[in-house]
Chains A and B, each alone.
Chain A
Amino acid sequence: MPFTSLLVAVDGSEASNRALEKALELAGLTGASVTALAVEGPLPAYAATIGEVEEVKREKDAFFGRLAQDVRARAEQAGVAIDIDIRPGHAAELIPRVAKERGVDLIVLGHRGHFLRDHLLGSTADRVAEHAECPVMIVK
């Protein structure tokens, strides 16, 4: 059965760019709809001032605004309709949750390969693959 709905995680990194490219290619072949999920990472934990939180939030909003524009342009270029969903939180928790909410049948995400962190804590890709209820494609 061909895929009808894809979710690709984007964060502006090289790895996520490769994942987006694959997702758009796959959507072009299967006619699937694509959701690009951008997860705004956590704000400074245990902040002492609201100013510190607001500043980081503003920077993130600006960054993800530019990222959304870039993703939309690349999807247009590939002739694929794309829905962009920007949410605050933790990627490993949010990606499977949003995939379930939207009923997607494939998650596409990149693998950055932080040697030390991956071995100590496990990568985001590992954790998404473990918790997702649909197939997961990890693009290296």
Chain B
Amino acid sequence: MSNLALATILLGAALAASMISVELGISVALIELGLGVVVGNVFDVATPEWLVLLAGFAGILLTFLAGAEVDVQQFRREWRSSTAIGVVSFAAPFLAAMAVAYWGLGWTREASEICGLALSTTSLAVVYAVLVETGLNRTVIGKRIMAATFVTDLGTVTALSILFVTPNVWFIPFVGVSIALIAGLPRIAPAFFRRFGDRVIEPEIKLAFAGLFLLMWLGAKSDSHAVLPAFILGLALSSHYASHRSEQERLRVVAFAFLTPLFFLRGGMSVSLPALWANLGILALLFFTKVIPKLLGVYPLARRYSAPHAAFTTLLMSTGLTFGTISSLYGLNAGIIDETQFSLLIAVVVLSAIVPTVIAQRFFQPDAGEEARRDAALGRPALEGEGG
């Protein structure tokens, strides 16, 4: 299939995914993944270099956006109670999944690490949607869950950047440039955006993209991954974006209109349905390897820090989507995992976005009004903001 034919099919699928998403009220990313599976299995196409590059960049951009969407003030308020939950939420499934993959399934050490990373995540966006929809994002428990989710994802991106490093001479410029961008961009952003911003040619988006491509290039040269600096860079710019919402929205428009669909479609394209069908038992094993350590690890802490909604908190911490997909795709692109392992990990990630969320909402959802009254009775101040 020619590049143009594939691009046409992918953009058609991206359009169809947006329309289906609007009609069904399901996230566009999940539909894109599903349509990617259809494209990959029906057309039997090899993934061209341009798609690997654009999807790789979209993954880094998603990571940057996730960092930029963190409410730093909220995290500062809740970090004491959230750090323990967040760390255990990362470490318990990471270690369990790594052990099961390595000793139980006979995967290589590096493939087992990818498995651990893909299953360690908690989805900021899935959690955020549940909290906003229920109004819990304005309560203390909602803020704590969001802060804990941030800690878990920070664990994932840190491990993804560190675990596969093979130190070479490029590692020094990679670290140096990362530090310079993280320290420098928030300082120059106000002046840069004042001078060049708010134009249809979008110099501020190009600045962010150039910085992210630079990180990707140096990350690749140093056999590392740019997710950690991209996430921290987003975090460093989060206060700036919080006070310049229109800039953040324009960045999202560019990302969601073209780049992130390619990321999720490319992820779906590499999922092999026959491989999944042949390994349903392993799929179930990996799903429980993600969920059970999360439940066992997080629940005791949640009883302490988010009582009386420990079950709700634990289930939300068991969700995953974007960082699980990013970790799995990194493993596939780097040749660490094969198509069957990738298919299994993506299927588990998607299941973990859906199953714990449905159970949490159906059986354990706190009443936001009651929770706000409880906050007031305990003398906790009313919280402002959506809590992203």
Would A49 and B62 count as touching, CB distance under 8 A? yes
- CB nearest to B128 among chain A residues: A50
Q: A47: which B residues are within 8 A, CB to CB?
A: 27, 29, 125-126, 128-129, 321
- A57 CA to B386 CA, complexed, in Å: 10
Report A102 CB to chain B, min CB distance, Å: 12
Whether B134 contacts A89 by the Cβ 8 Å rule is: yes
How close is A97's CB to chain B, nearest CB, in angstroms?
9
Q: CB distance B27 to A88 under 8 Å?
A: no
Which residues of B are found within 8 Å of A78, using beta-carbon distances? none
Q: Is the CB of A57 within 8 A of B126?
A: no
Inter-chain contacts of A50 with B (CB < 8 A): 65-66, 69, 124-125, 128, 388
Chain B residue numbers with a CB within 8 Å of A53 are: 125, 128-129, 132
A65 contacts the other chain (Cβ, under 8 Å)?
Answer: no
* C-alpha spacing A136/B126, complex, angstroms: 35
Bound-state CA distance A54–B38 (Å) is: 29
Whether B12 sits at the interface, judged by CB under 8 Å, is no
A43-85 with Cβ < 8 A to chain B: 43-55, 57
Q: Contact check, A52 vs B28: say whether CB atoms are below 8 A apart.
A: yes
Question: In the complex where A44-B28, A46-B321 touch, is A51 in contact with B129 (Cβ < 8 A)?
Answer: no
- Taken residue by residue from 111 to 128, chain B's Cβ proximity to chain A (1 for < 8 Å, 0 otherwise) reads as 000000000000111101
Question: Contacts A51-B256, A89-B134; is A45 near B388 (CB within 8 Å)?
Answer: no
Do A54 and B134 touch across chains, with their CB atoms under 8 A apart? Answer: no
Knowing A50-B124, A50-B388, say if A45 contacts B25 (CB, 8 Å).
yes
Indicate whether A41 reaches chain B with its CB closer than 8 angstroms.
yes
Q: Which residue of B is nearest A97, CB measured?
A: B367
User: Residue-by-residue, is A113-128 near B (CB-CB < 8 Å gives 1, otherwise 0)?
Assistant: 0000000000000000
Q: How large is the interface on B (under 10, 10 to 19, 20 to 34, 35 or more residues)?
A: 35 or more
**Complex interface: chain A residues within 8 A of B66 (CB):** 49-50
B135 at the interface (CB under 8 A from A): yes
Report the nearest B residue to A101, measured CB to CB. B369
Inter-subunit contact B132/A46 (CB<8 Å): no
> When the two chains form their complex, are residues A44 and B386 in contact, meaning their CB atoms are under 8 A apart?
no
Query: Cβ of B125: which chain A residues have Cβ within 8 Å of it?
Result: 47-50, 52-53
Q: Is the CB of B29 within 8 A of A48?
A: yes
A residues in contact with B318, CB < 8 Å:
none
* A55: chain B residues within 8 A (beta carbon): 249, 252
B134 — which chain A residues lie within 8 A by C-beta? Answer: 88-89
B353 A46 Cβ-Cβ under 8 A: yes
Q: Does B298 contact A (CB under 8 A)?
A: no
B130, chain A: closest CB distance, angstroms? 8
CB distance from B349 to the nearest CB of A (A): 10
* A135 contacts chain B at the CB level, 8 A cutoff: no
A55 to B132, alpha carbons, bound, how many Å?
12
Residue of B nearest to A55 (CB): B252
Q: Does B296 reach chain A (CB closer than 8 Å)?
A: no
Q: When chains A and B are docked, how far (Å) is the Cα of A50 from the Cα of B322?
A: 11
Interface pair A88/B132, CB less than 8 Å apart: yes
B328 / chain A contacts, CB cutoff of 8 Å: none
Does B260 contact A48, Cβ atoms closer than 8 Å?
A: yes
Tell me if A42 is interfacial: C-beta within 8 Å of chain B.
yes
Q: What separation, in Å, do the CA atoms of A46 and B264 have in the docked complex?
A: 14
CB–CB B65/A49 < 8 A: yes
A43: chain B residues at CB < 8 Å are 25, 129, 132-133
B151 at the interface (CB under 8 A from A): no
Of A41, A45, A89, which one neighbours B27 at CB under 8 angstroms? A45
Q: Which residues of chain A are near B273, meaning CB under 8 Å?
A: none
Residues from chain A with Cβ under 8 Å of B135 in the complex: 87-88
Interfacial chain A residues near B54, Cβ < 8 Å: none
Taking CB as reference atom, which chain B residue is nearest A53? B129
Q: Which residue of A lies closest to B28 (CB)?
A: A52
Please tell me if B60 contacts chain A, counting CB pairs below 8 Å. Answer: no
CB nearest neighbor in A for B387: A50
| Bound Cα distance from A43 to B357, whole angstroms | 13
Check A89–B133 contact: CB distance below 8 A. yes
Asked if B132 contacts A57 (CB within 8 A), the reply is yes
B271-325 contacts to A, CB under 8 A, are 321-322, 325
Decide yes or no whether B354 CB sits under 8 A from chain A.
yes
Which residues of the partner chain A approach B123 to less than 8 Å between Cβ atoms? 46, 48
With contact pairs A44-B25, A48-B260 given, residues A54 and B386 touching in the complex (Cβ less than 8 Å): yes
Instruction: Name 8 interchain pairs, CB-CB below 8 A, sorted by A.
Output: A41-B25, A43-B129, A45-B357, A47-B27, A47-B129, A50-B65, A52-B29, A57-B132
Binding site for B on A (CB under 8 A): 41-55, 57, 87-89
> Nearest 9 A-B pairs (CB), nearest first?
A48-B29, A47-B125, A47-B27, A50-B69, A51-B252, A46-B353, A44-B27, A53-B129, A48-B322
Extra contacts, 15 of them, besides A43-B25, A51-B249 (Cβ < 8 A), are A44-B21, A45-B27, A46-B27, A46-B353, A47-B125, A48-B29, A48-B123, A48-B264, A48-B322, A49-B66, A49-B125, A50-B66, A53-B129, A88-B132, A88-B134
